[in-house]
Amino acid sequence: METLIEEAKKGQAPDWLKEVAKFEGIDLELLIKLIARGEVVVPKNVRRENSPKAIGKFMSTKINANVGTSIDYVNVEEEIEKARIAQKYGADAVMDLSTGGNLDEIRKKIMEVVSVPFGTVPIYQAARSAGIVVDMDEDDFFNAVEKQARDGVDFMTIHAGVNWTSVERLKRSDRLLGVVSRGGAITIGWMLHNEKENPYYENFDYLLEILKEYDVTISLGDAFRPGCINDASDRVKFTEFILLGELVEKCRNAGVQAMVEGPGHVPIDEIETSVKAMKYVTKNAPLYLLGPLVTDIAAGYDHIAAAIGAAVAGMYGADLICYVTPSEHLALPTVNDVKEGVIAAKIAAHAADLVKEGQRERARYVDYEMSLARRDFDWEKQFKLSVDPERARRTWENRKSNSEACSMCGDLCAIKLVKEAFKQRNV
């Protein structure tokens, strides 16, 4: 059986790809070429039916939402509800990052309610199964990948860019926060304790064999993403960029779809450099970003800090935005935090699509329709076009004006005044 990228290299495609092309408003032949070049990925495990989403060049900017238990708080039903809410408000992908409880059971239950592409970080399960992280053996790394692939996971974050070269670079750096990636920290801790190379890097070809069998898309994890503004754009990060670029090439040659993850905390004037550098060294692989967060002081409002960075990153070529919730850096998010995070990311994604090649006209048409609705005081249409229709309606109804305008201005509404003035003069 051929993987999607292998089919695309032959100019072929499964029937379901037609719907993906239609959704994106793009010609099917062009989509096939982009997949063949590795500039677009469509995560879809051969053992799972989902609603496929295309991620990459010319595609609409996508949103990922993370859910999952922690060691301190295990409530499976709440995580299931988070997954439902994330999809309701526009998440194009959902990842289960659970670390507490029965991970197999939790993953299965969340997958049952998720229709969009579903992702995981297999090393979390490998580490929990071993009990003590450093006691994992090399088989544990790969057994977790194979098990989750068999279960139908569509894409996996693998921190294969961690090796002795990147670790030595980290040792020589003056980073304040070192490594903030949980998967990266697990890998580095294991390497240092066991004095061995990262199995995912050393045996990358074997990893690709497993992923290829199930057509799992690999998301090459950013183990060295900066965790604070002070650590942004340093040599550690760029060392990993180069390594990930080399691994992307191996993925494409092996017939495995690959996307690349990126930082992190980045000041707004350095986002363009980060995005373009990653796109360049990976030969335009789809780019999956957490944030980037443009400041460190937004505790409780990090979804806003991340949305600002995501909009800028999307303008320069980021393809998939990982949402950030108001609870980031503080606590496991609530259901409402998930909703707030998805909506903030969705606004950022749409802002990026307004200027993105391949999506600009479609995105601007939506804004044009909203403008018409505002001009005509068509409230129902405004609610429908809003990113959160329920909240828009509720806000309007709570302080409803006696006029056709909103209660901010009432009869002094600028739009209404000018329209009436022109009407009186028959203009």
DSSP labels, 385-399: HSSSHHHHHHHHHHT
DSSP string, 243-269: HHHHHHHHHHHHT--EEEEE-SB--GG
Whole-model pTM above 0.85?
yes
Which portions of the chain are predicted below pLDDT 50?
Answer: none
* Residue 131 confidence (pLDDT): 86
* Residue 153 confidence (pLDDT): 98
**Alpha helix positions (H), 117-171:** 122-130, 138-150, 164-171
Q: How far apart are CA 325 and CA 302, in angstroms?
A: 6
* 41-353: CATH class: alpha beta
* Residue 422 confidence (pLDDT): 86
Domain with CATH 3.20.20.540 in the chain: 41-353
* Residue 272 confidence (pLDDT): 97
Q: Which of 165, 219, 210 is nearest to 188 (CA)?
A: 165
Q: How far apart are CA 38 and CA 410, in angstroms?
A: 53
- Angle (CA) 57-59-65 rounded to 5° is 110
* Residue 255 confidence (pLDDT): 98
Virtual torsion, Cα 350, 262, 37, 314, nearest 10 deg = 20
* Residue 427 confidence (pLDDT): 59
